[in-house]
């Protein structure tokens, strides 16, 4: 008895066109998801909408089958199947229509795939093409040379030599050179070169050592293939300290010759050091050493050594640019050194930036200092973008210029361009925490918080103690409505004022009452005008629009460096229809 029942059931499924409905639904659903996957990111729609469409399609499938089974199309409209006389049923005709519909939808799917592959991909996939192009270049990382001197204080010299050699090699268009931040991650690790090559996406490494005794130098250098560990070239240089410029060029030239034998057709050009004064150059190397070890104490030392270099060579453009960047790091945030007195502190930078630009307007360090100053001091975002775009045009393989341009266009809300530029920077400097953090910021500001959280967590795996990452994860969770987990993440944030700002915003979301007001007053008394922008965030998120605009005006008065964040974070979304918002944008020449 079972077989006839099953046979009758299957025949009834076929008669009622249930299978045809399933086929049409599956093809149409698949086509819909292909369109969503291409169009939603282009329209900068949040990721959850894609998930919602997919869920809607999946949930709808069984309902479509039930509808096909229980109802029938008739000349009089839709009727329940049991109410239709079998002699008057038009299901065969309906089945033919479904067959044609399936063919049409399938044709549309094929057409869309062809358009996506041959019309949309070349432009949308330009980043991937750039990556492939970068991977086909011969590639090298300059690892920090080991300080073999008896005096550990000479480490600045070995680090500086490594960095200058990196700069020389980076000027060779045919060569892909890993960025400084990523290369220096392996300082003192004795990591297997194959692992280093894989992490930095390079085929070769240049490593060596420096022994400095008085005015005498012994420098060893070796070029190694990361895939098999073979030494392609090595040499030792015994020189007097006054020959340091010649030694750097000589080593770089030998590296290029070694690469040229195997891979290249290029000549090494000398580094643009900006000075012929060996003592001034030594102070410059010391300053750069401390600049790359960010702390209030080290930044103060960097300022001191840059000033000594300038005193010895008043025409040393790179020293002026470095001094301006160090002053920005030291005074551009709320620290004991800045005290929130941004305007006076930024004026210390202005003369150094302008002098550097007058002496050498085409050096990447100068252009970075100038674009930085245009944004944080002059509040000229279009001007800052124009400068960083010029830097990228001149130095397309310089990770720092790419990252700064990414940051500038990010504040202009061109998230697609920002992502493209920061990914290019990450190709050159894949282990740079600031670059990874910028990519996360782009995701957060464009409503893709799941990607942002994953990106910030990637940075934490590389540097578990890095600041301003847990706090950002907390903000993403807040934007997703998960305050409990946001609090948990924010509690791990090592930067105190970031942690406190977020905690007040969390409290304001839950209970903007007397307790919240008391905490806000205490926060204001502690940080004052130095955290004007953060105060604007706090009041904006709690819905106090007038108070938020008051604090944005305070940010204008003190030139708070955090002020451009108002353009990209969702705290101020509801304020953008207020006429005062256009006044605020105008302050940035927008």
pLDDT tens-digit map of 384-395 = 999 999 999 998
Same domain, 267 and 147: yes
Using the 3D structure, point to which of 378, 412, 434 is the last residue of a domain. Answer: 378
Cα end-to-end distance, the chain, whole Å: 80
Considering only CA atoms, which of 196, 214, 215, 217 is closest in space to residue 205?
A: 196
pLDDT tens-digit map of 85-104 = 555 555 566 656 666 676 67
Same domain, 7 and 116: yes
Please check whether residue 192 lies inside any domain of the structure: yes
What torsion do the CA atoms of 541, 545, 551, 556 make, to the nearest 10 degrees?
110
Same domain, 247 and 312: no
Question: What does the alpha-carbon distance between residue 425 and residue 400 come to, in Å, rounded to a whole number?
Answer: 7
Other CB atoms closer than 10 Å to residue 515's CB: what's the count? 10
Token output for 426: 């990450």
Q: In this predicted model, which residue has the larger pLDDT, 263 or 293?
A: 293
Please check whether residue 418 lies inside any domain of the structure: no
Which DSSP symbol is given to 73? E
Of the given ranges (56-60, 92-96, 294-298, 477-481), which has the lowest mean pLDDT? 92-96
Token output for 358: 């007058």
pLDDT(547) > 90 = yes
CB distance 122 to 115 below 8 Å? no
Please check whether residue 535 lies inside any domain of the structure: yes
Question: What does the alpha-carbon distance between residue 520 and residue 400 come to, in Å, rounded to a whole number?
Answer: 37
Using the 3D structure, point to which of 124, 156, 176 is the last residue of a domain. Answer: 124
Overall domain count for the chain: 4
Same domain, 154 and 260: yes
Same domain, 365 and 244: no
Query: Residue 401 burial (CB < 10 Å; 0-12/13-18/19+)?
Result: buried
Same domain, 98 and 193: no
Please check whether residue 463 lies inside any domain of the structure: no
Question: What does the alpha-carbon distance between residue 404 and residue 414 come to, in Å, rounded to a whole number?
Answer: 14
Other CB atoms closer than 10 Å to residue 209's CB: what's the count? 16
Domain of residue 207 covers 134-271
Task: Report pTM.
Answer: 0.69
Side-chain half-sphere CA neighbours of 553 within 13 A: 8
Same domain, 154 and 203: yes
Token output for 232: 């392609």
CB distance 381 to 408 below 8 Å? yes
Please check whether residue 404 lies inside any domain of the structure: no
Instruction: Kindly give, in sequence order, each residue whose CB lies less than 8 Å from that of residue 476, ignoring residues fewer than 6 positions away.
Output: 444, 449, 452, 453, 456
Considering only CA atoms, which of 397, 172, 202 is closest in space to residue 265?
A: 172
Q: What is the pLDDT of residue 337?
A: 41
Sign, Cα dihedral of 439, 445, 447, 450: positive
Which DSSP symbol is given to 272? -
pLDDT(129) > 50 = no
Same domain, 138 and 116: no
Considering only CA atoms, which of 18, 49, 46 is closest in space to residue 32?
A: 49
Please check whether residue 118 lies inside any domain of the structure: yes
Query: What SS3 class is residue 446?
Result: coil
Of the given ranges (21-35, 285-299, 359-373, 401-415), which has the lowest mean pLDDT? 21-35
Same domain, 101 and 138: no
Considering only CA atoms, which of 322, 395, 387, 389 is closest in space to residue 364?
A: 395
Helix ranges (H only) for 171-277 are: 180-183, 193-200, 244-262
Most confident of 24-28, 66-70, 207-211, 532-536: 532-536
Considering only CA atoms, which of 298, 300, 256, 50 is closest in space to residue 138?
A: 256
Q: Which residue has the tokens 């077989």?
A: 3
Side-chain half-sphere CA neighbours of 477 within 13 A: 21
Same domain, 367 and 351: yes
pLDDT tens-digit map of 367-381 = 999 998 898 888 899
Question: What does the alpha-carbon distance between residue 60 and residue 117 come to, in Å, rounded to a whole number?
Answer: 29
CA 377 to chain CA centroid, nearest Å: 23
Same domain, 97 and 8: yes
pLDDT(80) > 90 = no
pLDDT tens-digit map of 159-205 = 888 887 887 787 777 778 888 888 888 887 878 888 888 888 888 88
pLDDT(135) > 60 = no
Q: What is the pLDDT of residue 61?
A: 77
Same domain, 293 and 241: no
Token output for 571: 């705290």
Q: What is the pLDDT of residue 35?
A: 74
Please check whether residue 465 lies inside any domain of the structure: no
Please check whether residue 206 lies inside any domain of the structure: yes
CB distance 373 to 324 below 8 Å? yes
CATH number assigned to the domain comprising residue 239: 3.40.50.10070
Enclosing H/E stretch for 560: none
CA-based Rg of the chain, rounded to a whole angstrom? Answer: 31
Q: Is 217 left (phi over 0), alpha (psi -120 to 50) or beta?
A: beta
């Amino acid at each position: 008895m079972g077989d006839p029942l099953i046979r009758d059931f299957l025949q009834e499924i076929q008669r009622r066109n249930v299978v045809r409905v399933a086929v049409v639904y599956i093809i149409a659903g698949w086509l819909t998801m292909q369109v969503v996957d291409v169009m939603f990111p282009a329209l900068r729609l949040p990721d959850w909408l894609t998930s919602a469409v997919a869920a809607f399609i999946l949930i709808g499938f069984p309902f479509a089958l039930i509808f096909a089974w229980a109802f029938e199309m008739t000349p009089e409209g839709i009727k329940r199947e049991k109410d239709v006389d079998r002699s008057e049923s038009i299901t065969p005709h309906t089945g033919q229509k479904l067959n044609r519909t399936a063919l049409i939808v399938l044709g549309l799917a094929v057409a869309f795939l062809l358009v996506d592959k041959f019309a949309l991909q070349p432009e949308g996939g330009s980043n991937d093409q750039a990556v492939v192009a970068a991977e086909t270049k011969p590639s090298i990382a300059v690892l920090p040379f080991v300080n073999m001197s008896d005096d550990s204080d000479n480490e600045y010299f070995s680090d500086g030599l490594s960095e200058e050699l990196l700069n020389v090699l980076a000027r060779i268009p045919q060569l892909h050179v890993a960025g400084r931040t990523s290369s220096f991650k392996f300082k003192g690790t004795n990591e297997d070169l194959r692992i280093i090559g894989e992490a930095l996406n390079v085929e070769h490494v240049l490593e060596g050592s420096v022994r400095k005794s008085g005015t005498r130098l012994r420098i060893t250098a070796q070029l190694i293939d990361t895939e098999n560990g073979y030494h392609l070239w090595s040499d030792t240089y015994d020189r007097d300290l006054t020959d340091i410029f010649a030694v750097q060029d000589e080593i770089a030239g030998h590296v290029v010759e070694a690469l040229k034998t195997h891979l290249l057709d290029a000549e090494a050009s000398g580094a643009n050091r900006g000075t012929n004064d060996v003592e001034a150059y030594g102070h410059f190397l010391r300053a750069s050493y401390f600049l790359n070890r960010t702390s209030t104490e080290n930044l103060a030392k960097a300022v001191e050594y840059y000033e000594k270099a300038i005193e010895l060579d008043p025409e040393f453009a790179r020293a002026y640019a470095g001094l301006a960047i160090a002053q920005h790091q030291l005074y551009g945030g709320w620290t004991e050194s800045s005290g929130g007195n941004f305007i006076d502190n930024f004026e210390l930078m202005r003369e150094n930036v302008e002098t550097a630009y007058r002496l050498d307007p085409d050096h990447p360090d100068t252009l970075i200092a100038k674009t930085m100053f245009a944004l944080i001091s002059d509040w000229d975002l279009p001007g800052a973008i124009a400068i960083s775009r010029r830097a990228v045009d001149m130095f397309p393989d310089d990770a720092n210029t790419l990252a700064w341009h990414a940051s500038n266009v990010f504040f202009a809300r061109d998230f697609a361009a920002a992502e493209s530029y920061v990914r290019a920077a990450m190709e050159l400097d894949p282990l740079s925490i600031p670059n990874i953090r910028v990519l996360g910021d782009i995701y957060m500001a464009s409503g893709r918080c799941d990607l942002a959280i994953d990106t910030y967590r990637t940075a934490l795996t590389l540097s578990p103690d890095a600041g301003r990452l847990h706090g950002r994860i907390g903000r993403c969770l807040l934007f997703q409505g998960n305050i409990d987990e946001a609090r948990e993440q924010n509690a791990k944030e090592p930067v105190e004022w970031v942690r406190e700002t977020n905690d007040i915003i969390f409290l304001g979301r839950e209970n903007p009452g007397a307790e919240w007001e008391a905490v806000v007053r205490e926060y204001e008394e502690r940080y004052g005008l130095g955290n004007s922008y953060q105060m604007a965030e706090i009041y904006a998120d709690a819905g106090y629009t007038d108070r938020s605009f008051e604090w944005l005006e305070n940010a204008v008065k003190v030139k708070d460096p955090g002020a451009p964040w108002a353009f990209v974070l969702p705290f101020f979304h509801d304020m953008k229809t207020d006429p005062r918002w256009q006044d605020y944008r105008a302050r940035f020449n927008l």
